[in-house]
Structure formats: structure tokens, C-alpha cells
Amino acid sequence: MLEILGNLGDFVGGIAVVVTIGYLAVQMRSQTVANRRSTFQDLLNHQATLNLAWMTNQELGDAFVGARNQSFEDMDQKTRTLLATHAMMGLRQGQNAYSQYLENAITREQLRQLEMPLSANLRPPYAQQLWDFNKTNFPKEFQRYIDEEVMPTAKEIARIEASVE
């Protein structure tokens, strides 16, 4: 009889272990999904902050509109500094998003959603010059990502804008 109870205890204990492992797996998956959502939301919030700067900072907005089709050589020092600082912030945001993607913290689809504002910000000639000048300050894999995936879209946006003007 004791042997039967011992076997029953082992059986129930085994089932409890399996149930616990299953529960932990479900919890880990839920936590992973929550972390991905939080990471993506943080990236979106930072992008919104960058976009808000154009709308709330008169100098930056005017510099952006006035220099849309200019190269750095055609700008005064103040405009160059304003636009270069903002563009570098956007590139660092893009680097952060790409790093989060490489670490599986966001999905490819989420990265693509963050890519369009980056492409739009890289469309003016000065932004492309800035990237060419500063790209060596970024990891090789990010350089490849910008050059092969983001920059072609930026150039297409610039081409379309030029044809409409």
C-alpha cells in the first residue's frame, strides 16, 4: 500500500512539474510579447518627439523648409548645425531601432514602420551628404541597412517630390 501511495505521489509530482513548466512557458511568452510592445512604443514615442521638433521649433522648421533642396555648402552655419543635429538624432533613432530588431526585441514589420520616417528625413541632398560623411561612425551592419534598404526609398521620395514641384 505504501508503495502504491509512493508511486501515486511520484506521478502527481511529475504532473505538477509538467504543469509548472507549461505555465512558466506561457508566462515567458506573454512577457516577451509585452516587452516587444513596450520597446516598439518607446521607439514610436522617440520618433514622435523628433517629428514634434519640426512643428514646435520655428527655427528648425524654417531651416528644414528652406533647405529642402540644398546641399550643406549652400547653407549658412546656423542652418547646417540645426539640420545636422536633428538628422543625426534621427539616424541614432534608426540605429536604435535596427539594433532592437537584431536583438529580436521588435519584428521586421515594426522595423519597416519605423523606416519610412527615417527615409523621409534622409531625402534632402544635405541629409544624404551628412550620411555619406558620418556613416563610418555607425556599425557596418547598420551602414549596409541604410545604404541598401533605407536610402533607395529616400532617393525615390526625393525624385517624386521633385517631379511634383
Q: Return the closest-CA partner of residue 36 out of 46, 48, 28.
A: 28
Return d(Cα 13, Cα 64) in angstroms, integer. 67
pLDDT at 123 over 80: yes
Pinpoint the alpha helices (H) of the chain: 2-56, 58-66, 77-102, 108-121, 125-134, 140-145, 151-164
10-52 confidence digits (pLDDT tens): 777 778 777 777 777 777 776 776 776 777 777 767 777 777 7
Residue 105 and residue 39 in contact, taking contact as beta carbons nearer than 8 Å: yes
This prediction's pTM: 0.72
Q: Which long-range contacts (CB under 8 A, 24 or more apart) does 16-25 make?
A: none
49-97 confidence digits (pLDDT tens): 777 777 788 888 888 788 777 888 888 898 888 888 888 888 999 999 9
- The pLDDT score that the predictor gives to residue 95 is 93
Residue 60 and residue 53 in contact, taking contact as beta carbons nearer than 8 Å: yes
pLDDT at 165 over 70: no
- The pLDDT score that the predictor gives to residue 36 is 65
